[in-house]
């Protein structure tokens, strides 16, 4: 009887030893990035993970202002990439980011675009005041950098107040792009990089002249629990491989 018990115990022990130990949890890295970076960062994510096996990258895309407010309210984030310096400066001023940690990694171009076929017949910015143009897609200037850039340009031309009743305000620049792609607005203000994603559904009419180029800063947040890993991501984005992937989506080197 004892021999049977000993044999049974030996089998149980052997079985326990044979079961592989659970894999170590991948380190989680939360990247809060401007909506206009969606396609480019979805290309960067697998490339970064291939270079750093075992890392779990969580991408959080929204307008730069919404992302800042999330951070302000304590939402988890390790890296913040904004579509303009304004929101990054707020992050620095509020103590979420060290000024020395901020890097400019890309430039973009704001454009006026129309749905394929251009049903409203928009040819230039000046056509936006025509009666045939009734719905203009624009990011909400208070939170969406593309909307802020468009507001500044139109205000300088004395057109913003006049056109405001025709604006369809959007939560992100990608929402403007969606409206254009579905022919739900007559025209809209998006980045040149957005039109790359839309393919032949959206046509660029005119580049918008700005006092300063559309600028993208990136930084590691001070409170990141994986700051070394977060810095590796920033270095990857600003490095040669990251630059190649960004340029493939129409971004320009700073």
Q: pLDDT digit string (tens) for 225-252?
A: 999 999 999 999 999 999 999 999 999 9
Euclidean distance between CA atoms 38 and 61, whole angstroms: 7
Q: pLDDT digit string (tens) for 3-55?
A: 443 434 343 334 333 433 333 456 799 999 999 999 999 999 999 999 999 99
Sequence-ordered list of residues with C-beta below 8 angstroms from that of 2, at least 6 positions apart, any chain: none
C-beta of residue 123 within 8 angstroms of C-beta of residue 204: no
pLDDT band at 128 (very low <50, low <70, confident <90, very high): very high
CA distances from 37 to 42, 81, 208, 216 (A): 8, 9, 19, 9
Tell me which residue of 31, 25, 19, 28 sits closest to 233, measured CA to CA. 31
Q: pLDDT digit string (tens) for 79-96?
A: 999 999 999 999 999 999
Euclidean distance between CA atoms 187 and 159, whole angstroms: 15
Instruction: Please name the fold of domain 27-107+215-248.
Output: D-Maltodextrin-Binding Protein; domain 2 (3.40.190)
Q: Please list the residues that pair with 203 across neighbouring strands.
A: 114
Burial 123-159 (b: 16+ CB within 10 A, else e): eebebbeeeebeebbbbbbebbbbbbbbbbbbeeeee
Q: pLDDT digit string (tens) for 140-178?
A: 999 999 999 999 999 999 999 999 999 999 999 999 999
Average pLDDT over residues 209-215: 91
Euclidean distance between CA atoms 170 and 163, whole angstroms: 15
Topology match between the domains 27-107+215-248 and 110-207:
yes
Average pLDDT over residues 92-111: 97
Euclidean distance between CA atoms 217 and 113, whole angstroms: 25
The whole model's pTM is what? 0.82
**69 token code pair:** 């407010």
- Residue 63, sorted as left (phi over 0), alpha (psi -120 to 50) or beta, turns out to be beta
Ordered by start, the domain boundaries in the chain are 27-107+215-248, 110-207
pLDDT band at 196 (very low <50, low <70, confident <90, very high): confident
Tell me which residue of 87, 125, 113, 138 sits closest to 209, measured CA to CA. 125
C-beta of residue 139 within 8 angstroms of C-beta of residue 63: yes
Find the radius of gyration of the CA atoms of the chain.
24
Q: 110-207 has which CATH code?
A: 3.40.190.10
């Amino acid at each position: 009887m004892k021999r049977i018990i000993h044999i049974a115990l030996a089998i149980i022990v052997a079985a326990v030893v044979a079961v592989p130990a659970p894999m170590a949890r991948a380190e989680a890295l939360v990247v809060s990035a401007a909506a206009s970076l969606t396609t480019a960062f979805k290309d960067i994510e697998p490339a970064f993970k291939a270079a750093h096996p075992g890392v779990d990258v969580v991408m959080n895309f929204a307008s730069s202002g919404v992302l800042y407010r999330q951070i302000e309210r304590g939402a988890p984030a390790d890296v913040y990439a904004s579509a303009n310096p304004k929101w990054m400066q707020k992050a620095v001023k509020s103590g979420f980011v060290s000024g020395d940690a901020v890097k400019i990694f890309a430039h973009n171009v704001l454009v006026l675009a129309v749905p394929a076929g251009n049903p409203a017949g928009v040819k230039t910015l000046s056509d936006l005041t025509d009666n045939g143009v009734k719905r203009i897609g624009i990011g909400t200037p208070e939170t969406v950098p593309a909307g802020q850039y468009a507001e500044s340009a139109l205000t300088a031309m004395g057109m913003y107040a006049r056109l405001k009743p025709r604006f369809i305000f959007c939560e992100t620049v990608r929402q403007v792009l969606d409206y254009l792609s579905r022919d739900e607005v007559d025209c809209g203000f998006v980045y040149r990089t957005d039109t790359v994603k839309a393919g032949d559904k959206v046509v660029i009419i005119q580049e918008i002249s700005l006092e300063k180029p559309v600028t993208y800063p990136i930084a590691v947040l001070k409170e990141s629990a994986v700051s070394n890993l977060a810095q590796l991501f920033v270095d990857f984005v600003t490095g040669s491989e990251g630059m190649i992937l960004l340029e493939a989506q129409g971004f320009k080197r700073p």
